[in-house]
Chain A
Amino acid sequence: MEKELIQLVDISKSFDGQMVLDELNLNIHENEFVTLLGPSGCGKTTTLRILGGFTNPDTGKVIFDGTDITQIPPNKRQLNTVFQKYALFTHMTIAENIAFGLKVKKKSKSYIDDKIRYALKLVNLEGYENRMPNSLSGGQQQRIAIARAIVNEPKVLLLDEPLGALDLKLRQEMQYELIRMKNELGITFVYVTHDQEEALTMSDTIVVMNQGYIQQIGSPESIYNEPENAFVADFIGDSNIISATMIEDKLVNILGTRFACVDTGFGRNRPVDVVIRPEDVNLVEPDQGTIQGVVTHLIFKGVHYEMEVMAAGFEWLVHSTTLFPVGKEVGIRVDPFNIQIMNKPESEDEEAVAIDI
């Protein structure tokens, strides 16, 4: 892992008595693509605004490259922001928009012209210098907003749901563009989104947030495959979350049936939550399954069929490329490494968090 660039230390923030961030700690490394992911109101945008300097935390420190910048105003910080609704200067041409930050820093005209050309090339909008922002499509405006930020050579680019206003196809295209730009620029991206697919596609590290707390930090794979609690499991993708009892290491009692698993260290006869992804539930002939049930719903989703199977009093969500018609009796089998064991929420607060979503 590269060296730490930004540290958020014990950041708390409340608006009108409403706690938005509660003693948040987060380290961001050089050249990392970090995504803050969570539902609206989870504090992700507030965290980004604290990084950008637009919001002051009530307590805590923002350390940037070893220096405390908590009290430094945004115009003195070495990071730039791409705003949700582009926030282009509508009374200026594209070239003037991009040149804005450089003119403030009193760079020479030839330097500015070079930078404008470079930035427009990077975002694939060469030749747009003299257009006005309102004559561009949403996707193009977003590219200009990125160009306007990166010409200032920030060490960190903050992106606040930059693709939120674009349609699905364009959004997917821009995801690849953003990854390419980040690799070309070699700087840190801090990206805010509520879209789990965006987060999984682009990030090196995902920070899942809810109600002002960080729920889990990790790579996209670990967040998806090994969610630490029911909230993360539920928020990232579809999942079956089932109350279970850990009998001993590598053996769990799910709905009265013993399943082999790979997790250890939960103790004996401890109540736990179990997450099984719908694509990890294997449907087989009844006599070959660990437990038996009946298909109750069937929807064709394109890539796969989505089925619901009633078994042992629980409605299992199943994704499979093989069709099992409604009413058919089936057996359910799950490979041990696909059973993810999580601790039960300790307080009622956390419980509420899980149910909220």
Chain B
Amino acid sequence: MTSKNKWLSSPYILWSVMFIIIPLGMIFYYGLTDKTGAFTLENITAIATAEHAKALWLSLLLSIISTVICFLLAYPLAMILSNMKVNQHSFIILIFILPMWMNFLLRTLAWQTLLEKNGVINSILNFLHLPGMNIINTPYAIILGMVYNFLPFMVLPLYNVLSKIDENVLDASRDLGAGSVHTFFRIILPLSIPGIISGITMVFVPALTTFVISTLLGGSKILLIGNVIEQEFTQASNWHLGSGLSIVLMIFIILNMIASAIFDKEGEGSML
């Protein structure tokens, strides 16, 4: 690129300064100061208080469980899709992507309506004289919401990496005497690691930081770390504590990013 064309990148530089660099700087400023503006680590160490630690622990637990469920659902599906012919699988991928085009809030609200005590699902169960279920406002509803919302983000990188595996490589494995189980664990699974890491990142990070799903499906009783941070900003107006807790959360996200960078050296899984 010649120096003449450098000005072309100025809108993006402006954008990233205004909406990424400055906000990040503000979070670190607020997170590391108290109300008088003096330096303090109190906002960071506040994570150790029982209430905050519990919220962080629950967030980690629920997002890990959701990620595992997403992985177990998505992997076989991605394998089936990658074995299909192009005109067949594009339809099925469309079906999976279709919900993603609808607003995230709307989809989650829909689940609220479905799961409510007198909601759609219970009405049907009631009509069939079956015992109703009561999972709204429980951690299970939150997991359901997370899995439902983030599943496509697991399917796509897995599908992407699996469909790129050369058919000849699988033939070679069989040719050398390996059965299908052996081929799966020694060839397919290791070759799909970049996609697995990418999928895990794209489910785990948004699940860890969400507060909408827990608010809508978890009621007011279950607080995730995202809810705590949100409340510090919107209700308690304590930007300092909110920023400090955000920094703690960021550490977990960065750890995840480092892990994916190590495994995904060739950038194969990063299609989204």
**A interface vs B, CB < 8 Å?**
52-54, 73-76, 80-81, 83-85, 87-91, 100-101, 104-105, 148-149, 152
- Chain A residues whose C-beta falls within 8 Å of the C-beta of B171 in the assembled complex: 52, 54, 74, 81, 83, 87
Report yes or no: B176 in contact with A87, Cβ–Cβ below 8 A: no
CB < 8 Å neighbour of B177 from A90, A91, A152: A152
**B interface vs A, CB < 8 Å?**
166, 168-169, 171-179, 182, 186-187, 190-191, 193
CB < 8 Å neighbour of A80 from B169, B176, B187: B176
Main secondary structure of the interface of B (DSSP, over half): helix
Nearest A residue to B167, CB-CB:
A87
Q: How far is the CA of A53 from the CA of B186 in the complex (A)?
A: 21
CB < 8 Å neighbour of B176 from A53, A90, A101: A101
Report yes or no: A75 in contact with B179, Cβ–Cβ below 8 A: yes
Q: How far is the CA of A148 from the CA of B171 in the complex (A)?
A: 13
Report yes or no: B174 in contact with A80, Cβ–Cβ below 8 A: no
- Chain A residues whose C-beta falls within 8 Å of the C-beta of B179 in the assembled complex: 75
Q: How far is the CA of A321 from the CA of B169 in the complex (A)?
A: 48
Q: How far is the CB of A103 from chain B (nearest CB, A)?
A: 9
Select the residue from B168, B179, B190 with max chain A CB neighbours within 10 A. Answer: B168
Nearest A residue to B168, CB-CB:
A87
Q: How far is the CB of A176 from chain B (nearest CB, A)?
A: 25
- Chain A residues whose C-beta falls within 8 Å of the C-beta of B187 in the assembled complex: 89
Nearest B residue to A76, CB-CB:
B177
Main secondary structure of the interface of A (DSSP, over half): loop
Q: How far is the CA of A142 from the CA of B159 in the complex (A)?
A: 29
List, sorted by A's number, 28 A–B pairs whose CB atoms are closer than 8 Å: A52-B171, A54-B171, A54-B175, A73-B174, A75-B175, A75-B176, A75-B177, A76-B177, A81-B171, A81-B172, A83-B172, A84-B168, A85-B166, A85-B168, A87-B166, A88-B169, A89-B172, A89-B187, A89-B191, A90-B191, A91-B190, A91-B191, A100-B178, A104-B176, A104-B177, A104-B182, A148-B172, A152-B177
Ranked nearest first, the 10 interchain pairs of A and B with the lowest CB-CB distance are A101-B176, A87-B168, A87-B172, A104-B177, A83-B168, A74-B174, A91-B190, A81-B175, A87-B169, A75-B177
Given contacts A91-B190, A104-B182, contact A152 B176 (CB under 8 A): yes
Report yes or no: B191 in contact with A104, Cβ–Cβ below 8 A: no
- Additional A-B contact list (7), CB under 8 Å, known A75-B179, A100-B173, A152-B176: A54-B171, A73-B174, A80-B175, A84-B168, A87-B168, A88-B169, A104-B178
- Chain B residues whose C-beta falls within 8 Å of the C-beta of A105 in the assembled complex: 177
Report yes or no: A75 in contact with B174, Cβ–Cβ below 8 A: yes
Q: How far is the CB of B202 from chain A (nearest CB, A)?
A: 22
Nearest B residue to A73, CB-CB:
B174
Q: How far is the CB of B265 from chain A (nearest CB, A)?
A: 11
Given contacts A90-B191, A91-B190, A91-B191, contact A74 B175 (CB under 8 A): yes
Report yes or no: A52 in contact with B178, Cβ–Cβ below 8 A: no
CB < 8 Å neighbour of B178 from A54, A75, A84, A148: A75
Nearest B residue to A74, CB-CB:
B174
Q: How far is the CB of B59 from chain A (nearest CB, A)?
A: 33
- Chain B residues whose C-beta falls within 8 Å of the C-beta of A84 in the assembled complex: 168
Nearest B residue to A85, CB-CB:
B168
Q: How far is the CB of A89 from chain B (nearest CB, A)?
A: 6
- Chain B residues whose C-beta falls within 8 Å of the C-beta of A91 in the assembled complex: 190-191, 193
Q: How far is the CA of A89 from the CA of B190 in the complex (A)?
A: 10
Report yes or no: B177 in contact with A89, Cβ–Cβ below 8 A: no
- Chain A residues whose C-beta falls within 8 Å of the C-beta of B173 in the assembled complex: 89, 100
Q: How far is the CB of A105 from chain B (nearest CB, A)?
A: 6
Q: How far is the CB of B197 from chain A (nearest CB, A)?
A: 14
Q: How far is the CA of A101 from the CA of B168 in the complex (A)?
A: 15
Q: How far is the CA of A80 from the CA of B176 in the complex (A)?
A: 7
Report yes or no: B176 in contact with A148, Cβ–Cβ below 8 A: yes
Q: How far is the CB of A145 from chain B (nearest CB, A)?
A: 8
Q: How far is the CA of A85 from the CA of B175 in the complex (A)?
A: 15
